[in-house]
Structure 1
Amino acid sequence: MTYMQALIGFALVAGSMALVPGLDMMMVLHETINTTRARGIAAVWGISCGVLVWAVAAAVGLAALINAFPMAYDAIRVLGGLYLFYLAFSMARKKTDTGEKNGAVQSATGESAGADAGVAGVSAAMRTSNFRECAQSFWRGFLTDFFNPKIGVFYIAIIPQFLVPGVGNLEMGISLGMVHFVESVIVLTTVAYAASFFASRLRNERSQRILGLVSGAIMAILGGVTIADVVKSRL
């Protein structure tokens, strides 16, 4: 297999994976709908950088290291499961806190005025995001991808099959990672723009609370399944 054949073959495999809805898409949807499109796109770049890190690590020997020390990968998966639990809790808590704050405003100023103030506050919050907020979304996206067990399994299993004799593992890892990086940015940025377009229908208090609770529940389930799989493999 030549260098170009490896890139094309990997592009087809990674592109198919990027199109499948999963944890990364959910993170982008959550960030875009509940904050701003800028923060959603920041999460896209964080997720894509996580992809690049996995590609390089797998190419330079992570697969061999994990085969020699299986506990290392189990530790990553447990940390990933715990991080998903944290995300689930933070999403559910944020929506509950938002509902309580809006309820307090309505009680203090009258139901109609409170509703108008709540909508205006949400709209204002959605318009702009500063660098610190975007950096937070970038970091959340990066950690979501880095601790995503599906990404880890994909790279550990697939990358060694696309290493080309005569091409350094680091060079090959960066090349393959950049292919997936570009595909990930394109697909997830499209998701962010689509979510932003439809977000006006989902930014009322009831829709936000439902979305937060559903997203939190799914992440909690994924976290539980990840940790349970690790425990099962050790029994």
Structure 2
Amino acid sequence: MIPFNEILLFSLAAFVLVISPGPNMLYLISRSITQGKKAGIISLAGVICGFLFHITMVSFGLTAILFAVPIAYTILKTIGVVYLLYLAFQAIKPNSKGIFETPNNLSPDKPGKLFRIGFLTNVLNPKVAVFYLSFFPQFIKPEYGSIFTQSIQLGITQIIVSFSVNFIIVLTASKVSVFFSNNPVWVKIQKWFMAGVLTALAIKMSLTKAQ
């Protein structure tokens, strides 16, 4: 099993990735604002099922790759560092959007379609795939036991963090959207805070050595 302090650090990384703007975030907020909390929750259920798909694929894949190709760890780490720095830049670049700056003119959809789009949005989201493939190896070590079991442990942790954050966002999307619209200074603080944490995680990851 992965030590608790490592799980906490991974949870922080998962939290920052969840609140960084992406397809999942934009879809959930848009649906919550235009169709209400129920639609947002149904969409979130689809997104969570998409995470389960990614976790299953990545857990089996990492078990094979990390044992068969030692250099894969370095490659995945490099991809992760570059991607984190890219997200940090996207957060603070000129004219970048805040978390709640989303289109709100979507037409209503039925529950089945809301779930399906949420699922497909996550399954086809490259940010999720890159996160799993580049972050998991940084926390998985042979001395902690089965690589597959560690992957599942990290996956469950990521799902709990993602569900918790997104559930709160779905419930408060409309109110928070209004707050950020009326207080632009907080949008800047949110962007720079996110960029700072992403950069710190990138530095930490770059200094991590394979075991």
Aligned counterpart, 2:88 = 88
Distance 2:11 2:131 in 1: 14
Distance 1:162 1:209 in 2: 43
Out of 88, 103, 110, which is 1:125 matched to?
103
Whether the 8 Å contact between 1:19 and 1:187 is mirrored in structure 2 is: no
Alignment pair present for 1:23 and 2:40: no
Gap regions ≥5 residues in structure 2: 31-42, 108-113
Distance 1:74 1:188 in 2: 27
Partner of 1:203, secondary structure, is helix
Partner of 1:97, secondary structure, is coil
C-alpha distance 63-193 of structure 1, shift in aligned 2 (>3 A) = same
Out of 65, 68, 73, which is 2:68 matched to?
65
Distance 1:185 1:91 in 2: 23
Aligned counterpart, 2:190 = 211
Shift of 1:30: 2.9
Larger Rg over CA atoms? 1
Shift of 1:192: 0.5
Provide TM-score, normalisation by structure 2: 0.59
Out of 4, 7, 26, which is 1:35 matched to?
26
Count of residues in correspondence between the two structures: 179
C-alpha distance 31-157 of structure 1, shift in aligned 2 (>3 A) = farther
Shift of 1:154: 3.3
Aligned counterpart, 1:154 = 139
After TM superposition, the structure 1 = structure 2 runs for residues 1-235 of structure 1, keeping only pairs within 5 Å, are 17=7, 21-31=11-21, 35-37=26-28, 41=44, 48-60=52-64, 62-66=65-69, 69=70, 71-93=71-93, 96-98=94-96, 122=101, 125-126=103-104, 128=106, 134=121, 138-148=125-135, 151-157=136-142, 161-162=145-146, 173=148, 181=155, 184-199=158-173, 200-201=175-176, 203-204=180-181, 205-229=184-208
Distance 2:157 2:132 in 1: 15
Gap regions ≥5 residues in structure 1: 1-9, 100-120, 164-172
C-alpha distance 52-18 of structure 1, shift in aligned 2 (>3 A) = farther
Whether the 8 Å contact between 1:46 and 1:139 is mirrored in structure 2 is: no
C-alpha distance 81-37 of structure 1, shift in aligned 2 (>3 A) = same
Letter matched to residue 165 of structure 2:
V
Letter matched to residue 97 of structure 1:
N
Whether the 8 Å contact between 1:91 and 1:216 is mirrored in structure 2 is: yes
**Which structure shows the higher helix fraction?**
1
Partner of 2:193, secondary structure, is helix
| RMSD after superposition | 4.4
